[in-house]
Homo-oligomer: A and B are copies of this chain.
Amino acid sequence: MPQKPLGIALIGTGFMGKCHAMAWRNVATVFGGAHPRLEILADATDAQAAAFAAQFGFARATARWEDAATDPDVDIVSITAPNGMHRPMAEAALKAGKHVWLEKPMALTLDDARAMATLAATHSGQMTILGYNYLRSPAFQAARRMVSSGEIGKPMAFRGVYDEDYSADPLLPWSWRMTHEGGGLGALGDLGCHLVSLMTALMGPVSEITAQTQIVVANRPSPDGPKPVENEDSALALIRFASGAHGSFATSRVARGRKCRLQWEIHGTEGSIVFDQENMNELWVHRSGEAGFTRHLTGPEQPDFTAFCPAPGHNFGFNEQKVIEARDLLSAIAGGPACGPDFAQGLEIEKVIHAMAASHGAAIRIER
């Protein structure tokens, strides 16, 4: 962990903006090291920026994100603005010599993502990290260690879903987020990319996919009358991994009753692991010779949990994932292990979801 305080800029103050702010405020309290300096916050207007800077404890405020991204007292730029702004913001920050913590998805288009990865490659001394929160949960980390240590043998099959129902209501009004130009991908860009991040962390790279997409609510109300939804409500895919394993993949934003059903299971030759983010403090593990699945509650056996709480079964929370993400970035900057997914790894995730969106039931090879 860094001993020198690093300066932070935060762009955006919504769901994820607040989440980054909480993480920056508590990362050193939880994990030690120097407290980051909360230098500058950017939001849409001066008034909003000032109000949120006060609330989140940032020293300065601006309505010009460019100022935040390039501020001389800033070392790290947290980007939580709408997806369409990710590329220009990240590029400005990289060019100004900053480390970048960017929320997912990386960009609206695969071309944008590719350009960003290319630029990041030319700034190799600067860290980039994408906000794939769920990679950080103690239960997921424990699962990943189990898989990589061979505790369930060779992983042969993956089954994963990420379902929510935030778009299930057909009366939800049309928005620009539902267009290709404004919103990019649909469920794949919002939810599916998370599942890809977990799947590849557990199973290794994807070599081939076949997918189907579906738009369940074809038109949505707008002040100008019904307008068409362009990006997918739901997608299904079959996966071949480079390792020889295979998998199924599903994501939906219209799955009635699902709130954060990021659920996956792995079948290994010697055991199985099952996880559901709606109960993110439970990992279900079966190993050859055991009677059935055992519930592993989050606890001190999961190292990153201990810094938050020494008591097992005392639930770790969604927001706390972001504190670990911030710690990983600070550690990497201080010379610790590389953190990820960086922009290069993020591009691989983008390739997979864009291939899924483009597939129509025919196999598509994922170029690497």
Chain A interface residues (CB < 8 Å from chain B):
15, 18-19, 21-22, 25-26, 28-30, 32, 35, 55-57, 152, 156-157, 159, 161, 163-164, 166, 168-170, 208, 210-212, 214, 216, 234, 236-238, 240, 246-248, 250, 252, 254-261, 267-272, 277-282, 285-288, 290-297, 299, 301, 308-320, 361-363
A294 touches B299 (CB 8 A): no
Contact B267 A313 (CB under 8 A): no
B294 close to A260 (CB less than 8 A): no
Contact status A152-B256, CB under 8 Å: yes
Contact of A252 with B267 at beta-carbon distance under 8 Å, contacts A246-B212, A294-B294 already known: yes
Residue on B nearest A307 in the bound complex, by CB: B18
- The reply to whether A319 and B318 contact each other, CB–CB distance below 8 Å, is no
Chain B CB within 10 Å, residue with most, of A214, A270, A271, A278 = A278
Residue numbers in B under 8 Å from A55 (CB-CB): 28-29, 32
The 29 listed contacts between A and B (C-beta, < 8 Å) are A18-B29, A22-B29, A29-B56, A159-B250, A212-B246, A216-B269, A236-B248, A237-B238, A238-B238, A240-B361, A256-B267, A256-B288, A257-B293, A258-B272, A259-B312, A260-B312, A260-B314, A277-B315, A278-B281, A278-B315, A279-B315, A281-B315, A291-B295, A292-B296, A309-B318, A315-B315, A315-B317, A317-B317, A319-B320
Say whether, besides A57-B28, A240-B361, A248-B250, A257 and B280 are in contact (CB < 8 Å): no
Quick one: given A256-B152, A256-B286, are A315 and B280 in contact (CB under 8 Å)? yes
Complex CA gap A193/B276 in Å reads 27
Distance in angstroms between the alpha carbons of A35 and B315 in the assembled complex:
26
In angstroms, how far is the closest chain B Cβ from the Cβ of A163? 8
Most B CB within 10 A of own CB, among A157, A261, A272, A280: A157
A interface SS class: mixed
Known contacts A286-B256, A286-B257, A292-B295; is A35 also within 8 Å of B15 by CB?
A: no
Residues of B within 8 A of A57 (CB): 28-29, 35
Given contacts A272-B258, A363-B361, contact A316 B317 (CB under 8 A): yes
Q: Is the CB of A315 within 8 A of B318?
A: yes
Min C-beta distance of A362 to chain B, whole Å:
6
- Chain B nearest CB from A334 CB (Å) reads 16
Complex Cα gap A56–B26 (Å) = 8
Q: Tell me the minimal C-beta distance from A274 to chain B in angstroms.
A: 8
- Of the candidates A18, A170, A257, A293, the one having the most CB atoms from chain B within 10 angstroms of its own CB is A257
State which of B156, B210, B271, B301 has its C-beta within 8 Å of the C-beta of A257: B271
Min Cβ gap A57→B in Å is 6
Q: Which residues of B contact A168 (CB under 8 A)?
A: 269, 288
Contact of B252 with A240 in the complex, beta carbons under 8 Å:
no
Write out the residue numbers on chain B whose beta carbons fall within 8 Å of the beta carbon of A292. Answer: 257, 259, 294-297
